[in-house]
Structure 1
Amino acid sequence: MILYEYPFNERLRTYLRLEQLFRRLDELIARSHPLDHHYALVTMFEVMDVAARADLKTDVLKDLEKHKHQFDAYRGNPSISEDVLDGVIAQLDHCFAALSAQSGKAGQALSENDWLMSIRSRVGIPGGTCGFDLPAYYAWQHHAPVQRQHDLQQWATSLGPLANSVYLLLRLMRESGLPQKVAAERGQFQQNLPQGRTFQLLRLAIDPALQLIPEISGNRLIVSVRLMRQEEGGRLVASAEAAAFELTLCA
């Protein structure tokens, strides 16, 4: 199954973008080729760009606190395991403490590294990180893979509290939804959302064998899915076929 996700608000869009960047960063650091480590640095700079929004850290801390209060309300419920509940609340507390202890925005320590910022200033220029432009960076790329990995892991440490917080918030949100099997008639599907409840994320799983691509739109009242088929040359055309898929709404 191919899983598509659609965020209903800008805050969730930011979280999903950060999650994608953090996962890419982890994978690139674990590799050994200098080119992979170059793009690991580029990914760090992308995280800094996304995290530059002034209220991002405040939003994450508020969401961690909100989830903690929600889980605290489950105490004493006989159908809830106290051990599991304590474990989740401990994770929320740990993420909150680590993120709030950081001064400034995520990646603030990286922005104070002049050598890294000299690279960042040139990565947007086509071919701007050639050896004749940045000889020190060119020399670093010839260090042993273990040394480069150590440097990257050290630089990424300042991004760790934000990464762990985003991972936890998205995991809890995804676990809040119940998947349902639905069918699109003539390639179209619409569903009214219940009033009085705010959903933040839609997840859609579809069989790749169908070769259909969902175009998702939605707001607090309704969600709509239009199934598309890709023709030769890449052009997308609306499908008129009936197809089933799995839909999950997460609050």
Structure 2
Amino acid sequence: MIVYEYPFNERIRTLLRLEDLYQKFTFFLQQEHPLQHHVALSTIFDMLEVAGRADLKSDLLQELERQKQTLLGFRTNPNVQPERLDAVLSEVDQISSALVAAQGKTGQNVRDNEWLMSIRGRTIIPGGACEFDLPSYYAWQHRPAQQRFDDIAAWFAPLAPLFGAINLVLRLLRESGRSHAMIAQAGSYQQMLQGKVYQMLRLSLDESLGAIPEISANKYMLWVRFTSQDGDMKPKPSEADVPFELTLCNF
């Protein structure tokens, strides 16, 4: 199954983009080749661009507190497992505390590092990080893989609490929805939302169908149009019925 996610607002769109960057960062950081570590470092710069909103940290703290109060309301529910609820509440408290303890503006440690900023300035230029442009960076890339790993991990460390909060908020959001089996007649599906506010849509479908969803939605209506790709990768409308699973998520 392939899962496609569609954000209903700019805040969730930003969190999904940062989550995607974090996944790329962790993958390339675990590799050993200098070029792979170059991608990991460049991804930190991309994170700073996306996370440039001054209120992102406060937004996350407010959302975590709201989720905590909602979860506390489940204590009297006999259908809720107390141990599992306590584990989630403990995780919320730990991540909130770590985020509160993170001082200064997001990524300020990177911005204060003149050497890193010189690399960031050159990576904006296509091919701008060559050895004749940045000889000191070229020399650093020839250091042992473990040393490069340790350096990048240390530069990222102040950002870790932010991404811990992002991962938890998105996980709670995804777990809030319930999946329903749907069929797109002749490759098209519409659903009236009647003004109900959702944060995210999740769409799952069998990979073997070769169908690709194009999603548009607002608080009134959801529309999914499925396409397929031919040899030159140009999308064409699907005329077959497409079964899929739909999950609407909301805090």
TM band (smaller chain): over 0.9
- Partner Cα distance (1:60, 1:30) in 2: 27
How far is 1:231 from its partner? 2.1
**Where do 1:60-75 residues align within 5 Å?**
60-75=60-75
Q: How does 1:197-216 map to 2 (within 5 A)?
A: 197-216=196-215
SS at match of 1:143: coil
* Match of residue 140 from structure 1: 140
Does structure 2 retain, via aligned residues, the 8 Å contact 1:207–1:245? yes
Q: Once the two structures are superposed, what CA deviation does each residue of 1:64-122 show, in whole Å capped at 9, x if it has no partner?
A: 11111110111122111222111111111111111122223321111111111110011
Superposition pairs of residues 1-251 of structure 1, within 5 angstroms: 1-193=1-193, 195=195, 197-251=196-250
Aligned residues: 250
Q: Secondary structure at the match of 1:209?
A: helix
Q: Shift in Å at residue 194 of structure 1?
A: 5.2
Contact 1:184 1:243 in 2 (8 A): yes
SS in 2 for 1:131: coil
Q: TM-score, normalised by structure 1?
A: 0.96
The runs of 5 or more residues in structure 2 that have no matched partner are none
Q: TM-score by structure 2 length?
A: 0.96
Deviates more, 1:220-229 or 1:99-108: 99-108
Give the share of equivalent positions with the same residue, in percent.
47
Structure 1 position 135, deviation (Å) = 0.8
**Deviation string, structure 1 residues 19-63 (Cα, Å, up to 9, x no partner):** 011111111110000000000010000000011112211211111
Tell me the C-alpha RMSD between the 2 structures.
Answer: 1.1
Helix, strand or coil: the match of 2:226?
A: strand
The whole-number CA distance in structure 2 between the counterparts of 1:123 and 1:52 is 18
Deviating 4+ runs (over 4 angstroms)? none
